Amino acid sequence: MIDSTGNTVSTGLNVNSIRADFPILQRKIHGQNLVYLDNAATTQKPNQVIKSLTDYYEQTNANVHRGVHTLSIEATDGYELARSKVADFINAPRSEEIIWTRNTSESLNLVAATWAENNVVAGDNIVITAMEHHSNIVPWQQLAFKKGAELRYFAHNSDGIIDLEHAMTVIDERTKILSVTHMSNVLGTVNPISELAGRAHDVGAVIMVDAAQSVPHMPVDVQDLDADFLAFSAHKMLGPTGIGVLWGKVSLLEDMPPYMFGGDMILEVTYEDANWNDLPYKFEAGTPNIADAFGTGAAVDYLSRLGMKNVWRHEQDLTAYAMERILSLDTVKILGPKDPSMRGGVISFIHDSIHPHDLGTALDQQGIAIRTGHHCAMPLVRSYDVVAAARASFYIYNTKSEVDALVNGISETEGYFNR
């Protein structure tokens, strides 16, 4: 519950205090206070993260690993400390299971190009849901084409809830990998990963989890989920752009070949051959994104101080309020679960007479930032017989008054188009 001043009362977050940490929230857009509701695309960055980047470049800038001078040692220590923080954040058993990548998309591609490339053969099948982001469709499509494998989808109902019974039949003895979103970036649906993991393991398959929309917003424990691989991006959880995470069970990672070749991922090179470095460095060729690892560590610190249970309660409370307010408009249809407790802070909606791009442009004139389009989930959006949808998505610094601004903005836009 959020009181009239914007403070969260029952969820443990003081939103006014949080908002003070985000310089960009002081901006005015077209003369209006910024209302930023595009958090599923990327989140804003607090002073603590921005400062960590500045401090790195001003005080510590050096390449990591093998350097014996002070700056290199400091950079290496900070880089590896950030890896350990991420491991703790998702309850990974070992920090060497954390692989730095550029983003969730690269993490998914890494698994497709290494583990799946080595294990999927003709006649096997790969299983995903019908609500996946393009990054969790296209790599598997391409692998299926290459290997002569079958790409299977299991269904969800009109409310965006997967048919678990159907999923259990789609996953069979020829399934090698199940790759599924933890939370849909369009529907907001939170999928039952542990149940799906159990079925995958029963038939000898592995499960890859796209957690880009879950790790930033709710407590995620890779051991409780019983996942084999899990991927997410720092920029969706207060961190910098250009850095992401692949977590994998050490037993799987050790058997996988490198994804790229070059410096730091090698143990020894001769003119005739090369041997690969230990985990996690086998998958981190070349100079890594050191500064943004520092920034990711700072983002993890920030969220850990708030408490992910508090973050999740705040977003569920805000989402329930937003759904009630948006559905008060007879002209708007919401995609995804009707029950707010079954979804995260993502609400995609369709207006019955205003194109999403027109609506997004009109809201921008009022200082309100939402996302419009197919949200990198074109097959899913088209399955609702539309080519685009508007999407509002929430985070720790959003308030009910901003939800009110969104709903009032939609009403004002309707008035303009109906003149």
State the catalytic residues.
376
Return the structure tokens found at 285: 């060729």
Task: Report the length, in residues, of the chain.
Answer: 419
Q: What is the H or E stretch that residue 3 is in?
A: none
Instruction: Quickly list H helices, 203-289.
Output: 222-225, 250-255
Return the structure tokens found at 284: 């981190």
Enumerate residues 6+ apart whose C-beta is below 8 A from 386.
350
Helix (H, G, I), strand (E, B) or coil at 333: strand
Q: For tokens 């529907």, name the residue.
A: 187
Distance CA 151, CA 111 (A): 16
Distance CA 214, CA 217 (A): 5
Strand partners, 206: 177
> What amino acid is encoded at 129 in this protein?
T
**Cβ contact 65:258 at 8 Å:** no
Q: For tokens 């698994």, name the residue.
A: 111
Return the structure tokens found at 61: 């800038």
In SS3 terms, 157-193 reads as: CCCCCECHHHHHHHCCCCEEEEEEECECCCCCEECCH
Instruction: Quickly list H helices, 113-242.
Output: 117-119, 138-147, 164-170, 193-202, 222-225
Identify which of 190, 259, 219, 222 has the alpha carbon closest to the alpha carbon of residue 95.
222
Cβ of 309: how many Cβ atoms within 10 Å?
Answer: 12
Instruction: Tell how strand 175-181 and strand 206-210 pair up.
Output: parallel
Signed CA dihedral, 68, 71, 73, 75: sign only: negative
> What amino acid is encoded at 291 in this protein?
A
